[in-house]
Amino acid sequence: MLQPEQSVIVAKAAETEKKASQLFDKKRLVRRCLWFTLITILTIAAIFIYNTGGASLKALGQLKFSYLVFCFGLLFIDLMLGSWRNHIFMRKLKPGLSHWVSFKANVANMFMGAVTPAHGGAAPAQIYVYMRSGVRFIDAFTVSLINMGATLVFMPLAGLLALLLLDESLTSGLVTVMLQYGFGFFSLFLVAFLLAFWKPVWIAQLISHASKWVANRLPRYRDKILRWSEETTLSIQTYQQTCQLLLQK
């Protein structure tokens, strides 16, 4: 028997399910995906050309086919293991779901995470693939949440280990800076993730105070800023309550 608060959460989840179905419009998603991919390719190409000039193009010509095959083999293994990580949970949430669906969802996750800032498109892409195969939004969100939590734990540890074991004599200073940036970014993200789950009131209060401070300095947008603050606070509280309900299943 659900408690009154849990009933509200379930109703909210059903409403979210409906909104999510409307949000994931295929044409719009494909168009934005193409734009992000194009921007990513152009940015990486510009960085390589700016830093190394024609040396990068010469280096590409020296790649050995056998090494490429080996790298693609490792990539396939990584994608397969990642898909099974998701599918273990998905088999419990939706029995009978093909592993191929989880594999496609993991590929979408990896690809969109690579072409969007801060890995922001990874989870929506994974959820979209699952929903197209009949998985409920709340179930796809659950698997994505578990996946993100595991990633946020692993990435700071991997970055810290790399910094401790890195031989600076064999790398440029840029590598160290990138590792430090990655470690700091994912550590802060992990802290925010945990606080939003266990201490949503703290996050809500921080957002509320920051919004009021900004609203006082931008009176023209005061109503919009405060409305956004209220909606964000409510979303954080719903997020925490939904996660607690899912963990009780």
| CA nearest to 122, candidates 135, 105, 139, 137 | 105
pLDDT at 75: 92
Q: Confidence band (pLDDT; 50, 70, 90) for 12?
A: low
* Segment 115-125, tens digit of pLDDT: 887 677 888 88
Contacts of 209 (CB under 8 A, 6+ apart): none
pLDDT at residue 152 greater than cutoff 50: yes
Percent of the chain with pLDDT over 90: 12
Position with higher pLDDT, 202 vs 12: 202
Cα–Cα distance between 11 and 245 in angstroms, integer?
12
- The three state secondary structure string of 165-207 is HCCHHHCCHHHHHHHHHHHHHHHHHHHHHHHHHHCHHHHHHHH
| CA nearest to 104, candidates 75, 134, 125 | 125
Number of domains in the chain: 1
Is 212 inside a domain boundary? Answer: no
pLDDT at residue 24 greater than cutoff 50: yes
* Segment 222-239, tens digit of pLDDT: 888 888 888 777 777 666
Which residue reads 């998905």 in tokens?
A: 90
Is 59 inside a domain boundary? Answer: yes
pLDDT at residue 114 greater than cutoff 60: yes
Q: Confidence band (pLDDT; 50, 70, 90) for 23?
A: low
Is 215 inside a domain boundary? Answer: no
Q: How many CB atoms within 10 Å of residue 15? A: 10
Is 185 inside a domain boundary? Answer: no
List the domain range (segments joined by +) for residue 37. Answer: 4-154
Calculate the CA 179 to chain-centre distance. Answer: 19
Q: Confidence band (pLDDT; 50, 70, 90) for 2?
A: very low
* Segment 196-214, tens digit of pLDDT: 777 777 777 888 888 888 8
Is 237 inside a domain boundary? Answer: no
Position with higher pLDDT, 185 vs 73: 73
Is 101 inside a domain boundary? Answer: yes
pLDDT at 47: 76
Is 218 inside a domain boundary? Answer: no
Angle between helices 26-52 and 99-115 (to 10 degrees): 50
Cα–Cα distance between 29 and 143 in angstroms, integer?
21
Which two three-digit tokens encode residue 178? 């990138």
Cα–Cα distance between 2 and 13 in angstroms, integer?
14
Which two three-digit tokens encode residue 74? 């490792």
Task: Tell me the one-letter amino acid at 92.
Answer: K
Q: Is the pTM of this model over 0.75?
A: no
* Segment 39-86, tens digit of pLDDT: 888 888 787 777 766 666 677 777 788 888 999 999 999 999 999 989
Position with higher pLDDT, 98 vs 40: 98
Is 186 inside a domain boundary? Answer: no
Q: Are the C-beta atoms of 106 and 86 separated by less than 8 Å? A: yes
Cα–Cα distance between 240 and 6 in angstroms, integer?
12
Cα–Cα distance between 32 and 25 in angstroms, integer?
11
Q: Are the C-beta atoms of 97 and 159 separated by less than 8 Å? A: no
